[in-house]
Every structure is written in C-alpha cells, then in structure tokens.
Structure 1
Amino acid sequence: MLTGRKKPDYLRQDDILFMGRGYRIFATLIEHDLDNTVAGPHFFILRLKPQQHRLISPAFLAWSINHSRAQRYFSQHVAGTALPHVNRTTLENLPIIVPPLDVQVNIVKAHRCRLKEKALLEQLIDKKKQFLDQLFDQTLEPYQEDNA
C-alpha cells in the first residue's frame, strides 16, 4: 500500500448501499462485514452513528427507502433528464416516519417474510411450468410420428 493513501472504507455490517442513479432507485442492507469490499462510485454508503441505532434500525431505514412513500418522494425530486439521479441533499431531506424499535423490527420481519413468500411462489410457478411442459410433451409424443 502506498504511504499517505487513505485506508479504503470497506463495507461493514449494517451499512446501507443507496443506488440513486437510474430508473430504479433503491437501498440494500449489508448484513455482515464484507472483507476487502468497497462500494462503487455510483453508491452512497449510509452508516448510522452508534447513538442513532437506539432510534432507528438500519434494516428499517433500508426498508423505508425502498417503500412506496419514499419512492414517490424520490420521483418528485430527481435531477437529470437522460439519467435520473438523486443527489445527497434530496436523500438527506427524505422524510422518514420512525416508530419505536419494536415496531421497526416487526415491520422488517413482515417484509422479509413477504420476500421469502414471493421467492417460494416464484419457485412454485417455475416447477409447475416444468411439470406442465413435461406433461404436454408426453401427451404429444404419440402424435409426433403422425405429423412427421
């Protein structure tokens, strides 16, 4: 490492990566330390101060940024026409409702359950499609020679 260089700011547990460029603005929570991993230049890194953890959960903050209420706010405050982007001031001024921590935990749990349910339903749809494709192939197989 070169002397005089700043040590890289590696991603840590409870960091929130905010993508404010493009047509899909979103935040994602880093759930564990990522060794030797830094965020790309298009991301803002949101890192709560220790005293802020008593007020808001990082997981709840990420959920809030992705919630439709925040997405409407961003769509009203984006800059740029060719490539929409949210600047730092707009992000800092995002209004967030902060309920008690136990309510935040319950909201995040319910959200994670919904995501798991969605993934399971998508898997079920894929399996059903595979099953029906195979069933249709078997059903049509006896007629294949007639149409050859």
Structure 2
Amino acid sequence: MNISELCDIRSGTSFSQKVKHCENADYWVMESKCANSDGSIDTKSLVNASLQQFKMPTRALSNQEILMRGKGGSHQAILFEEVSDKLPIFPTSYFLVLTLKNTKIASAKFLAWLINQPKYQEKLKSLASGVTVKHLTKTKFLKFELDIPPLNKQHQLLELDSLMKQENNLLSELDGLRKEYYQVSVSTYLEPSNG
C-alpha cells in the first residue's frame, strides 16, 4: 500500500533563521536534536519560541502524528504523543509529519514501528538523495510502499515488540546486577584477612 493512501504528509515548518531560546515562550520548536535514537522526544531540548521572534506557524503537532526524520543517515519514524505542557509544538523542516487517514487500516503506533523496521529503513535510504547528507523529500516519500497486515496482526506484532523490549530491559538489569555482585565478591576476597 502506498504511504499516501495511509497518511496525509506535510513538511515541518521552515524558519527564516535559527530559532533562539527565549524565556517567555508562546510555542515550542522541535529541532532534530530533540529526536532521540530510541524514538522518544526529548522535551527538555525543545526550543522556547516567542511571537516576538517569529509569527506562530499554522499547524502544530497533534497527538498520534508521526514525525519522520527527513535528513541524515536514518529516516526514523517517531510517534508523537501529547506532552503534559500545553504549548503547541512545531517541528522544523528537518521532519516530515504524517497524519493517519484511517485508523481502521493501521494504527499510528504500528505504522511508526513498521517504518522503523530494517526492511523499510533500507527502502527509505534508497529513496533519499544527496552527497554528504541524505535528504528524503516529501515527493520521494510519496512513492514509499508498505505491506500492511490486518489490525489483529498489527496488535500481535506490537505486543511481541513490547515483550522483546521488556526482556532486553530485564537482561540488561540482570547483567548490571551480575557485574555488581562480581565487583563486591572480588573486593571481599582482596581484603586482608584478620587471621
């Protein structure tokens, strides 16, 4: 299925100059540095912008929209879920923004997950162009094709992914405890004995 059948796609906001942080913010600007490699958004890195700097852009991010990295070596999809503060957030033109047309075909969470799979990341890399910095344009992205399974399979895949992440977290925690136990044991054996 073509991505344009699933989503409305728009580019992030272009600003005429670099947005500088200001104390009295009217809105936030999301730059590339705000997108973490794990697919989360670093809200502390959002830039406070003021109406004194720039007129407010027209379309803020909405809950369950997907941000696509348009520039660089990775074209990661990031699911936007509303943050607690109520200032509107506007991504820069570094991002493409996807708004799902029909949740009976796919969920935004599944679509972001699917786009991040190695098979589709490779397809996106082949659509991107540029010598030093790869750039995925909206025009090229509109040619992107995906295999969308039925909703019940989507839920199963997301559940499996969640279980894998839980397992990895537990294994990482176990490894940390094992190393800690090892260090305590070694320290104990290296202490001079009193006898």
Structure 1 position 110 matched with structure 2 position 160: yes
Residue pair 1:11, 1:39 contacting (<8 A) in 2 also: yes
Work out the CA distance in 1 between the residues paired with 2:135 and 2:160.
Answer: 30
**Taking structure 1 as the reference length, what is the TM-score of the superposition?**
0.79
CA root-mean-square deviation:
2.3
Residue pair 2:65, 2:100 contacting (<8 A) in 1 also: yes
Work out the CA distance in 2 between the residues paired with 1:125 and 1:48.
Answer: 40
Give the structure with the larger helix fraction.
1
Identity %: 25
Counterpart for residue 90 of structure 2? 38
Larger radius of gyration: 1
SS at match of 1:38: strand
1:31-75: CA deviation from partner (whole Å, max 9, x where unpaired): 3456323324322221113xx112111111101110111011122
**Taking structure 2 as the reference length, what is the TM-score of the superposition?**
0.62
**Greater shift after overlay, 30-39 or 102-111?**
30-39
Larger RCO of the pair (alpha carbons < 8 Å, separation 6+): 2
Poorly superposed stretches of 4+, deviation over 6 Å:
none
Counterpart for residue 129 of structure 2? 79
Residue pair 1:12, 1:33 contacting (<8 A) in 2 also: no
Unaligned runs of 5+ in 1: 144-148
Residue pair 2:66, 2:112 contacting (<8 A) in 1 also: yes
Number of residue pairs aligned between Structure 1 and Structure 2: 139
